[in-house]
Amino acid sequence: MRAKRIAILDWDTMAYNKDEVNARRFAALAENVDVYPSTKPEETVQHIGDADVVICNKVLITREVMEACPNIKYIGILATGYNNVDIEAATERGIPVCNAGSYSTDAVTQLVFAYIFDYFQRVALYAMDVRLGVWETAPAFSYFPYPTGELRGKTLGIIGYGNIGKNVAKIAEAFGMSVLIATRTLPQVCPYPVVTAEEVFRRADVLTLHCPLTEQTKGLINKQTLALMKETAILINTSRGGTVVEADLADALNHDMLAGAYLDVLEKEPMSPDTPLKGAKNCVITPHIGWTPLDTRKRLLDITEDNLRGWLGGNPQHVVNGVSGS
């Protein structure tokens, strides 16, 4: 079985360098494939048109879009998160929504520890001083005005215990860190203490978020929860920007209520020029790069293609809304 038409709505999110990856792989799965570099909200219905298969990363697929495009039979998400799709509306219409869960586990874990090492080792800061000739004028053989620290004995608090949270915990343990877990769904097997979110906030030296954006997690990092944290703690967010109230975090950083924050996601992306975090004290922001290693994006495309093949063959996989489709 082949699809009649596949509409890929935001290919530019997958290929910054146009030669890295391409969409030709989907040609064998449909009579026609239309690839759009990007899709503005007002273009979504037009770009989908009569397509029975929609593949996208961040384009909003709302109830109104589905109603205006009644031929949609399958939605494939080029990501783990699927909060850009109205899941209730898709389920009502019998449309399976398939994501690419766990494709970026290693890449995001890697970024989390890049942040941790940046804070505790200060490699970039010291290397810059060396480049500027500061070490050459030091009074002793070793120059260390910026404090560093060992990971062993530090407490890593993890909110969310999915694939990434588990991977981060395993590596933290290898460095001798104590791990605390807070998660909505109590894991059947967990080698680490599972505690309340409040306890994680209070005890963590490093707090890292690995939870989806839901009604329960929206604004999770706010004035009240930040007040629970140690002044010496750092916050890491590689999950979703909406889990953080940005004004509250900026205020906490600027008033030394928190030692630092490392963020790969913001509520509005690309970053708004007026985000309060742009000039916040001890705030490091990267432009949503956790998932972008080439190996990772190739894996993402493999999973997305396999998901579609499975659905076309009557065996859908990675279905997030429990709909098998027809």
Domain ranges (residues) in the chain:
3-103+293-312, 105-285
Does 16 have pLDDT greater than 90? no
The CATH code belonging to domain 3-103+293-312 is 3.40.50.720
CA distance 59 to 78: 10
- Among 210, 288, 297, 299, the active-site one is 288
Are the CB atoms for 151 and 176 separated by under 8 Å? yes
CA distance 172 to 241: 23
CA distance 313 to 316: 8
Closest by Cα among 182, 180, 232, 225 to 205: 232
Half-sphere exposure for 191 (CA within 13 Å, toward CB): 8
CA distance 109 to 113: 6
Does 87 have pLDDT greater than 70? yes
Residue type at position 89: A
Are the CB atoms for 250 and 226 separated by under 8 Å? no
- The two tokens of residue 60 are 């909003």
Q: Which fold has domain 105-285?
A: Rossmann fold (3.40.50)
Give all strands (DSSP E) within 148-266, no chain letters: 155-159, 178-182, 206-209, 234-237, 260-263
pLDDT of res. 200: 98
pLDDT of res. 18: 67
pLDDT of res. 326: 61
Told to judge if 47 belongs to the known catalytic residues of this protein, a careful annotator would answer no
* Residue 97, phi-psi category: left (phi > 0), alpha (psi -120 to 50), beta (remainder): beta
Told to judge if 240 belongs to the known catalytic residues of this protein, a careful annotator would answer yes
pLDDT exceeding 70 applies to what percent of the chain? 99
Strand order in the sheet with 178-182: 178-182, 155-159, 206-209, 234-237, 260-263, 283-285
- Among 210, 240, 299, 318, the active-site one is 240
pLDDT of res. 311: 97
Told to judge if 131 belongs to the known catalytic residues of this protein, a careful annotator would answer no
Are the CB atoms for 3 and 74 separated by under 8 Å? yes
Are the CB atoms for 21 and 14 separated by under 8 Å? yes
pLDDT of res. 133: 97
Burial class (CB in 10 A: 0-12, 13-18, 19+), 139: exposed
pLDDT of res. 325: 74
Q: CA dist 135 to 117, 122, 131, 143, 184, Å?
A: 21, 15, 9, 6, 49
pTM: 0.92
Half-sphere exposure for 235 (CA within 13 Å, toward CB): 35
Please give the average per-residue pLDDT across 100-118, as a whole number. Answer: 96
CA distance 184 to 26: 37
Same fold, 3-103+293-312 and 105-285: yes
Angle subtended at Cα 147 by Cα 114 and Cα 250, rounded to the nearest 5 degrees: 65
Question: Mind listing the pLDDT tens digit for each residue in 276-310?
Answer: 999 999 999 999 999 999 999 999 999 999 999 99
- The two tokens of residue 47 are 């770009």
Question: Mind listing the pLDDT tens digit for each residue in 146-173?
Answer: 999 999 999 999 999 999 999 999 999 9
CA distance 98 to 262: 30
Does 207 have pLDDT greater than 80? yes
Q: For residue 324, name the pLDDT band (cuts at 50, 70, 90).
A: confident
Q: For residue 81, name the pLDDT band (cuts at 50, 70, 90).
A: confident
